Structure 1
Amino acid sequence: MNQGKIMTIHCATCGAPAQFDVVTQNYHCPNCGGNTGTEIPLKKLREFRSLTKTLLEQELPDSQTIACECPNCGARVIVKEHEVAETCIFCQSKVLRSDVQMGEGFPEMLIPFKLNRKQAEKRLDEWIEQHHDKSEAQILKENKKKLKGIYLPYELIRGPIRFVVTRDNSNRHYECGGFLEHVAVNVTDRCNNLLLNGMEPFLWDELEPFQFGYIAGHAAEIPTADGAELRRRVFEEVAEEYRPTVEHTMQTTGLALCPESEALLRLPAFLPVYFMDCGEVQAAVNGQTGKVSVLAEKETRTYPWVIEPLLGTLAVMIFFFFAFRNYGGVPMDLKELFELVGMAGLVAALILFTVFSKGREARVRRKILKSISEEEKKKPEDSIKPVFFETIGGKELPVQLGFYSPGRIVKIVMILLLVNASTCILAWILTAFKCMGSGDWTLFQQLDYSYNIIWLCLALPISMVGFAVFGRIEVYDSPVIFQLLENGKRKRIHQKRENRKTLLMRWKNVRETMGNWALPLFIVLPLFVMTVYMIMNPWP
């Protein structure tokens, strides 16, 4: 029996295999066109697991303690904590514990070992040879004899998943739906989760119903997580599994994902792993495919949020270079120009990195060094794109979100130009009124726009802060929404009113940025008025 007979969903009408439709959140049959609700597969899986549990209870021996009696020679055998079985040192028989099936996550399926220990050690040697220049390779080479085959308990996950997605420093929530295929979650504390993720995937076609005879000659862990802890660990792993796809869609890495799903098919299983613990360095070899995963000796820190402030700083430096290269019609000395550009870039970097780093920390992780199995080369996995849902007119609709549309980029650029050139524009308008009153149109020739540098000293930092704070809210909290239609096309949805939470968030940011009204009244306005006056009345 393989996974297809257990975790594959069949149409409730004709019995053909059904595929999950992320948009309608139902299983759709390509054969008869019928839809199957998510509750039907859950019911069938519960029936299968109940039958499997009954069969396992009949197969277990009568002993109910960790100190077990060997059924062959009668010797007293102590089974290690968190393990299912132990070998009798007198007759080499396998002694099984009978209290292990009581836990919620006791494995009911199993993938048998395909590689023996010698073959697994050969795969590890190949990895060591390919990474001979790394310190981890030398440590593993000295400790190869520690490699041990073990069945680890997992939860196999398949089915529809819903997420509540939030962005850093925002109150805006997004509903996101997707489908998980072939996700395995480790439910023991023996090994590092990142290490075990690195040696996946497994070949699910070789999944078999669990029988105690499979674990003969191998150690086997029992689950250390059940109930609420098991649910938390499963959802945490699922969120990390889906994070790259959601980050790509949302075009940002500063996201929090909270899974919310009761329709996931979850099946506990034993999976084959060769494991080695050398202290700071750990290694795992997939007992089925031979893929090697090694936990790096040292932690690494990454700062994914620095891309946006770096691009902003670069944009400011480019603007200053072209704006002051021939300022006032006079070519600027190259040394002075680069000093000015460098100073502007330094100020921009201080402002943008301060704003963008608010509430964000470095990601601290141990790097996973892994090989690529032959099965992965033949069948690369396809990522499933998520579908977002928005409540519009009291009805939840599948939508496609857009953030950096051409129109929105033009709008932001125009606002920034208006803010920085507002003194020049006002001076020109006031001069126009003055000319119409006096009839002397030569007054336009007296305007000296070079004095706008006074206003730019304050306007540019304000523009950068405004873009970093309010621009991101405009982009991420008020997305461009397209409704996904049944015919595969999409329709733009124009919302007449902004979300109330979005407006409150904007007002909160305004108050936090300004602090109080003294800043605009006693600094901004006098400087603005003085700049307009100097442009209209330049010094001789």
Structure 2
Amino acid sequence: MSEIKEYKCPACGGAMEFDSKSQKMKCPYCDTEISVDEYESLIAKADQVVAADAASDVETEQKKSENYTAHDWNQDEIDNMVVYICQSCGGEITADKNTGATTCPFCGNRVVLKGQFEGALKPDYVIPFKLDKKAAKEAYYKHLTGKAFIPSVFRQENHIDEIVGLYVPFWVFNIESEADISYDAEKIRVWKSGDTEYTEHKYYKIRRGGTIYFEHVPEDGSVKMDDALMESLEPYDFKDAVPFKSAYLAGYVADRYDVDQDECMKRAKKRIRRSTEDSFRETVNGYYALSTQSSTVNIRDSKTSYAMYPVWLLNTTWKGQKYTFAMNGQSGKIVGDLPADEGAFWKYVGTRGILISVILYIIMMVVMFL
């Protein structure tokens, strides 16, 4: 069995969580609050004691694992699965190999899985949640406002309760881009002299060159996350980023990265090239027509960081199609597509049609008897 890290309240023993409002560790049972740094120091000392006791139990656990037989899982599932023991209730927590923080399904204890964010897997930074679940719900309801034909399931409270706070792994790049771009441009002047109209065409060759430095370009490092959806949640303000400590994950779900740095760098370079070309094109003004003749954009220098960004996530399936809504846990920006209930739409059209027909009939009757 793999190890987990629990965040117990030093006052009452309840499960502590990172509180987005106070930016401290908070116990929901006795309201004890403590800073992340202070709490990390406390659990570091406690871990030393636990490690000494656990050493004597290793042999027993090894014997148990030798007698364990998996009957219902194929080998691929077993290879991607890790089993943890909850230290509060003794229940087994089953997770995939990339899960970094989760909740015990038996007692609701919030846990961070040891080893998932250590050594080379440890993030450099984390942007802590600034908005809580209540704010996520309010943003979701606001997103539904004015949309008349949404299926009722999207408005149900039990559905809204499924919103999950998730730390998504991101590779963050600082990149210097050097560009050399040429354009074909045209100016047109039209004027009249007497009864004659003249049109003058002037053609130009325009060249732009220089460097642009891009800071904190994020690319999500999770296979589970839709890249376009994550890009839609931008921007994140990196000034709120702090050195990573696992205590920030308490009370939320988190995954470590499973898309490597090089693959994310390829996506980042494509975005940088587009942004570079757009930025240079914006400097060429006052022409009737403008087209790019040639474009050379080179990535000269780059620096990479590994960070965890906050996202509130809601997944729903309706009529066999998956709908995902996401909210930036720092800024509150929400994105997601909504379906239209065709039955509700045609019911509305039919009702309006009958009402209009009745009104027209009454008007005709009044006209006839005047």
How big is the shift at 1:236? 2.8
**How far, CA to CA, are the matches of 1:256 and 1:77 in structure 2?**
56
- Amino acid aligned to 1:287: G
What pairs with 1:458-537 in structure 2 (closer than 5 Å)?
Answer: none
Q: What is the alpha-carbon distance in structure 2 between the residues aligned to residue 113 and residue 255 of structure 1?
A: 46
Q: Which residue of 1 aligns with 2:311?
A: 273
The 8 Å contact of residues 185 and 237 in structure 1, kept in 2 or not, is answered as no
Displacement of 1:284: 1.3
Superposition pairs of residues 374-389 of structure 1, within 5 angstroms: none
SS at match of 2:130: coil
Residue 273 of structure 2 corresponds to 239
Given that residues 165 and 256 in structure 1 are in contact (C-alpha distance below 8 angstroms), is that contact kept between their aligned partners in structure 2? yes
For 2:165, the equivalent position in structure 1 comes to 149
1:165/1:176 contact within 8 Å kept: no
Give runs of aligned pairs for residues 220-239 of structure 1, distance below 5 A. Answer: 220-239=254-273
TM-score by length of 1: 0.37
CA displacement at 1:260 relative to structure 2: 3.5
Q: Which has the larger radius of gyration?
A: 1
Tell me which residue corresponds to 1:321.
Answer: none
**Other-structure match for 2:103:** 87
1:132 is matched with: 147
1:119 aligns with 2:135: yes
TM-score w.r.t. length of structure 2: 0.52
In the other structure, the counterpart of 2:360 is none
Deviation at 1:127, TM superposition (A): 2.1
Q: 1:122 to 1:93 in 2, by over 3 A?
A: closer
User: In the comparison of the two structures, how many residue pairs are matched?
Assistant: 235
Change (3 A) 1:292 1:179: same
Distance verdict in 2 for CA 1:215–1:179, change over 3 Å: same
Q: Which moved more, 1:263-272 or 1:198-207?
A: 198-207
Question: Partners of 1:236 and 1:147 in 2: how far apart?
Answer: 32
CA contact (8 A) 1:153 1:222 kept: yes
Are 1:98 and 2:98 counterparts?
Answer: no
| 8 Å Cα contact 2:208/2:280 also seen in 1 | no
Q: Deviations over 1:383-415 (max 9, x none)?
A: xxxxxxxxxxxxxxxxxxxxxxxxxxxxxxxxx
Residue of structure 2 in register with 1:305 after alignment:
none
One-letter code aligned to 2:246: F
Letter in 2 for 1:94: V
Q: Deviations over 1:131-177 (max 9, x none)?
A: 525x6797754653442210011122335223576999xxxx98652
CA contact (8 A) 2:125 2:242 kept: yes
* C-alpha distance after superposition, 1:300-343 (max 9, x if no partner): xxxxxxxxxxxxxxxxxxxxxxxxxxxxxxxxxxxxxxxxxxxx
> Counterpart of 1:284 in structure 2: which amino acid?
A
**Which of 303, 312, 325 is matched with 1:283 structurally?**
325
Counterpart of 1:66 in 2: which secondary structure? Answer: strand
Counterpart in the other structure of 2:11:
none
Residue identity opposite 1:270 in structure 2: M
Structure richer in strand, relative to its length? 2
The CA distance in 2 between the partners of 1:256 and 1:82, in whole Å, is 43
Distance 1:203 1:79, change over 3 A: same
Match of 1:308 in 2: none
* Paired position in structure 2 for 1:368: none
Could you say which residue in structure 2 is the equivalent of 1:208? 242
Amino acid at match of 1:132: K
- The answer to whether the 8 Å contact 2:179/2:276 transfers is no
SS for the counterpart of 1:115 is coil
How big is each residue's C-alpha offset from its partner over 1:413-439, in whole Å with a ceiling of 9 and x where there is no partner?
xxxxxxxxxxxxxxxxxxxxxxxxxxx
SS of alignment partner, residue 154 of structure 1 = strand
Instruction: Report Cα offsets for 1:482-531 as digits up to 9, x if no partner.
Output: xxxxxxxxxxxxxxxxxxxxxxxxxxxxxxxxxxxxxxxxxxxxxxxxxx
What is the CA-CA distance between 1:208 and the residue it aligns to? Answer: 1.1
1:148 and 1:275 in contact (8 A); partners too: yes
Equivalent residue number for residue 199 of structure 1: 233
- Distance in 2, matches of 1:249 and 1:154, equals 32
Counting helix residues as a fraction of each chain, which structure ranks higher? 1
Mapping for residues 419-434 of structure 1, pairs under 5 Å: none
Q: Which runs of 5+ in 1 are unaligned?
A: 1-54, 299-540
